[in-house]
Amino acid sequence: MKVGVKFCGHCAMHMDMTVLYGALRLALPEIEFAYASASEKWDLLLILNACPVACAGRPVFDGPVITVSPVAVDGWPVEPENLLEELAKRLKNAENRY
């Protein structure tokens, strides 16, 4: 499975999402991660927001999207220390569909 990753601008950073992204890549080496760009194709879009406002723009994409903020995954509350585990679980579930 190939995951396109979109970061917010980190203008009001509550959490450094590059650290979460690095940990996620280490935890899920079987998943191919790439920065989301218009020229690439991916199976799922992952949007990483550094603050609870979660205002990162969303590229044009028809497939499944997972949106993360320091306090939520897809709008559901998650404690910051559990974000990696919850996100890994959701990505593994999505991978089983491909």
Domains of the chain: 2-95 (3.40.50)
Q: Is the pLDDT of residue 67 over 90?
A: yes
In this predicted structure, what is the pLDDT of residue 18?
Answer: 94
Mean pLDDT within 10-33 = 93
CB environment 63-82: b (16+ within 10 A), e (fewer): eeebbbbbbbbeeeebeeee
> What is the structure's pLDDT at 98?
60
Can you give the pLDDT at residue 40?
80
Residue 86's pLDDT is what?
A: 96
CB atoms within 10 A of CB 15: 19
